[in-house]
């Protein structure tokens, strides 16, 4: 047997995107690094799994150019986000009543590097009045 010890500092942490109550999809700083977001990254294309309608994950491709079919990436200070409110509203993703977080993993699709946003949902606690 040969053991390989895993170094904690080499594991991706906090690589996530969160839907804000405004409908914007915001990226943690670690997520921005993993997605290689920079001043040169202009937009993202968002895909859904047509073969499995129960798959609630998002599939993301980053682009270095503007594309009419893509969502523009907006930078505010060191923070990146995408205005996805209309997308989430159109696909009935209830970000108002649930905290929706996507864990991000890299994968290859048709020879291209893409990112799978794996959905986690936490129901928001109702405020006591």
The full set of domain ranges for the chain reads: 15-123
Cα torsion at 25, 28, 33, 35 (round to 10°)?
-30
Q: Which CATH class is domain 15-123?
A: mainly beta
pTM assigned to the model: 0.84
Q: How many CB atoms lie within 10 A of CB 1?
A: 2
Nearest to 59 by CA among 45, 38, 41: 45
pLDDT digit string, tens, across residues 55-114: 999 999 999 888 899 999 999 888 899 999 999 999 999 999 999 999 999 999 999 999
Q: With H, G, I as helix, E, B as strand and everything else as coil, classify residue 66.
A: coil
Per the CB < 8 A criterion, the answer to whether 64 and 42 are in contact is: yes
């Amino acid at each position: 047997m040969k053991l390989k010890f895993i170094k904690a500092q080499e594991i991706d942490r906090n690589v996530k995107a969160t839907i804000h109550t405004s409908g914007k999809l915001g990226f943690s700083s670690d997520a921005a690094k993993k997605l290689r977001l920079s001043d040169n990254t202009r937009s993202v294309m968002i895909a859904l799994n047509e073969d499995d309608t129960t798959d609630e994950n998002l599939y993301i491709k980053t682009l270095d150019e503007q594309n009419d079919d893509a969502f523009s990436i907006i930078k505010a200070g060191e923070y990146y986000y995408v205005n996805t409110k209309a997308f989430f509203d159109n696909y009935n993703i209830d970000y108002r009543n649930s905290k929706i977080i996507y864990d991000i993993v890299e994968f290859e699709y048709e020879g291209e590097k893409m990112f799978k946003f794996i959905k986690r949902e936490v129901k928001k606690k109702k405020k006591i009045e």
